[in-house]
Amino acid sequence: METREHIYVGGEFIPSTGNGTIEVISPHTEEVIARVPDGTNADIDKAVAAAREAFDNGPWPQLTPAERAGYLTRLAELITGEMDDWARTISSEMGSPFSFSQMGQVYASAMVLNYYAGLAETYHFEELRTGIMGPALVRREPVGVAAAIVPWNVPLFTTVLKLGPALLAGCTVVLKPSPETPLDAYKLAEACETIGLPKGVLNIVVAGRDVGAHLVSHPGIDKVGFTGSTAAGKLIAAAAGAQLKRVTLELGGKSASIFLPDADLALAVPQALGSGFMNNGQACVAQTRILVSRDRYSETVDALSEWTAAQVVGDPLDPATQIGPLVASRQRDRVEGYIAIAQKEGGKIAVGGGRPASQSKGWYVEPTLVIDVDPNSTIAQEEVFGPVVSVLAYDTPEEAIRIANNSNFGLSGSVFTADVAAGIDVARKVRTGTYTVNAFALEFAAPFGGFKQSGVGRELGPEGLAAYLESKSISLPAGTEVPGVPTV
């Protein structure tokens, strides 16, 4: 049993102002594995004050980008060196299979930090433009104090998607992790101590949504970076809008994987389903609708069924496990509810659909394949956030694109085909923020984010850094040169 009694504010572990406790419950054993303080509004006030002080009066924004990048590199090194330890923590608190925790939760997080450290070398924080009226020095300055609010499904990764660019930009940060996954956030606080991050640059208060709402509307916050549900994203956008705060929202998805008639099933099936069931299906980018040509429908359903039925379900800490439990019993209820609705609306269960007999405890749902799904049905329209993948038939590639676009979401997607040019053509027509031809991938040097109700703004790539910067233009007398600043 791990017990934490402090919040992390101003570079110190200090007591919470409240006496509430959050219990962290293992999704596998259903037992309490840790207790941490339930952060309060007053804790947030302290954290914002510390971040404000570090931004307004501290050295952090005055360091060079290269100096700030050095901290990111050290943090990435530390996380990589302790990868299994971090992976065990995340698997224990939220049930992610250990092998996914290693690569998808931890190593990927270090890669993002390293990417932003590297970007310091090429990004133009200042540039001189020749201009029309005369030369202009264009500066990119930190937006200020950023609030980072993250969900439980990829807690460290969604944190570094904000922390990497925010710190490189020169912002200071208040992080509010989810109550389900506080333990990796405490490790992050300790890691910041180890690398000697200046006091107040990162402050962490674990709390629920009401305290999150207090953070969003706090006058000391200049920018909100949020990852979570579309419902919460709308509330946060409204609250941020009332104060004209900058906001980036990474929200839900219902992404489609199109198998064109010439798709190689040996490639397409593991890639699409690997993404659909990734992290026990609790992934915003999961390919949860598989669109199959009617000519190859039964052959493809057989291949998809065989792959799904072969998944190893079990203890998330067992390295052999491919599908672990859902994060909470309420999440299992939600997923089971969607499976029931899918059947009521005409979907047929090809594989799974219930609780695995092998698990006497834990919030497990079998990997489930629903076939013959109507594109307008609930299971094809709403984000389930569990190990449930739907199969839909189409007659022509044009119809497949129409079905893919028949969604309020637009986060990810993929197409499988022997003709890469045809795949690119499909990619251009699907209204979504990230897309892959003949694989499932997320490229860290390219922008990541959603069309439609999947979000506002972008993380990753230089675009993710720009989200933590304000542009300033300084018009200069004709003929002025600024040493060390490139002319573009």
Catalytic residue positions, numbered = 250, 284
**Closer residue to ligand NAD (CB): 271 or 432:** 432
CB of 49 to ligand NAD, least distance (A): 19
132: Cβ contacts below 8 Å, ≥ 6 apart: none
Tell me the C-alpha distance between 119 and 468, whole Å: 14
Residue from 216, 278, 350, 430 binding ligand NAD (CB under 6 A): 216
DSSP code of 360?
Answer: S
Answer yes or no whether residue 276 interacts with ligand NAD by CB under 6 A. no
What character string, x for contact with ligand NAD (CB under 6 A) and - otherwise, covers 311-350? ----------------------------------------
Residue nearest to ligand NAD (CB): 212
**Closer residue to ligand NAD (CB): 63 or 239:** 239
**Closer residue to ligand NAD (CB): 65 or 281:** 281
Residue from 55, 98, 125, 152 binding ligand NAD (CB under 6 A): 152
Answer yes or no whether residue 411 interacts with ligand NAD by CB under 6 A. yes
DSSP code of 318?
Answer: S
Residue from 35, 129, 139, 209 binding ligand NAD (CB under 6 A): 209
Residue from 26, 40, 96, 178 binding ligand NAD (CB under 6 A): 178
Residue from 253, 314, 347, 423 binding ligand NAD (CB under 6 A): 253
CB of 462 to ligand NAD, least distance (A): 18
Tell me the C-alpha distance between 409 and 252, whole Å: 7
**Per-residue b/e over 322-350, b at no fewer than 16 CB within 10 Å?**
bbbbbbbeebbeebbebbeebeeeebebb
CB of 45 to ligand NAD, least distance (A): 15
Residues 437 and 424 sit within 8 Å (Cβ to Cβ): yes
**Closer residue to ligand NAD (CB): 160 or 269:** 160
**Closer residue to ligand NAD (CB): 157 or 394:** 157
Residue from 94, 154, 197, 342 binding ligand NAD (CB under 6 A): 154
What's at 228, amino acid-wise?
G
349: Cβ contacts below 8 Å, ≥ 6 apart: 339, 342, 343, 368, 369, 370, 371
Residues 142 and 170 sit within 8 Å (Cβ to Cβ): yes
Tell me the C-alpha distance between 258 and 260, whole Å: 6
**Closer residue to ligand NAD (CB): 111 or 213:** 213
CB of 383 to ligand NAD, least distance (A): 5
**Per-residue b/e over 163-194, b at no fewer than 16 CB within 10 Å?**
bbbbbbbbbbbbbbbbbbbbbbbbbbbebbee
CB of 305 to ligand NAD, least distance (A): 26
- The DSSP bridge pattern shows strands 136-142 and 469-475 to be antiparallel
What character string, x for contact with ligand NAD (CB under 6 A) and - otherwise, covers 6-45? ----------------------------------------
**Closer residue to ligand NAD (CB): 229 or 378:** 229
Alpha helices in 24-154 (DSSP H): 41-56, 65-81, 83-94, 98-100, 108-119
Tell me the C-alpha distance between 176 and 10, whole Å: 15
310: Cβ contacts below 8 Å, ≥ 6 apart: none
CB of 327 to ligand NAD, least distance (A): 8
Q: How crowded is residue 484: how many other Cβ atoms within 10 Å of its Cβ?
A: 6
CB of 475 to ligand NAD, least distance (A): 38
**Closer residue to ligand NAD (CB): 176 or 199:** 176
Residue from 33, 213, 341, 482 binding ligand NAD (CB under 6 A): 213
Query: Computed over its alpha carbons, how large is the radius of gyration of the chain?
Result: 23
Q: Please report, for residues 105, 154, 171, 247, 396, the alpha-carbon distance to residue 279 in angstroms, rounded to integers and kept in the order given.
A: 9, 8, 31, 27, 32
Q: How does DSSP assign 455-487, residue by residue?
A: EES-BSHHHHHHTTEEEEEEE--TT---TT--B
Residue from 229, 378, 381, 405 binding ligand NAD (CB under 6 A): 229
Residues 165 and 465 sit within 8 Å (Cβ to Cβ): yes
Site for ligand NAD in 432-471 (CB under 6 A): 450, 455
From 24-32, 138-146, 229-237, 366-374, give the range in contact with ligand NAD by CB under 6 A.
229-237
Residues 388 and 349 sit within 8 Å (Cβ to Cβ): no
From 120-128, 133-141, 245-253, 421-429, give the range in contact with ligand NAD by CB under 6 A.
245-253
**Closer residue to ligand NAD (CB): 14 or 235:** 235
Task: Enter the tokens of residue 135.
Answer: 């030369």
What character string, x for contact with ligand NAD (CB under 6 A) and - otherwise, covers 130-149? -------------------x
Tell me the C-alpha distance between 113 and 462, whole Å: 13
Interacting residues with ligand NAD (CB under 6 A): 149-154, 158, 176, 178, 208-209, 212-213, 216, 227-229, 232, 235-236, 250-253, 284, 383, 385, 411, 450, 455
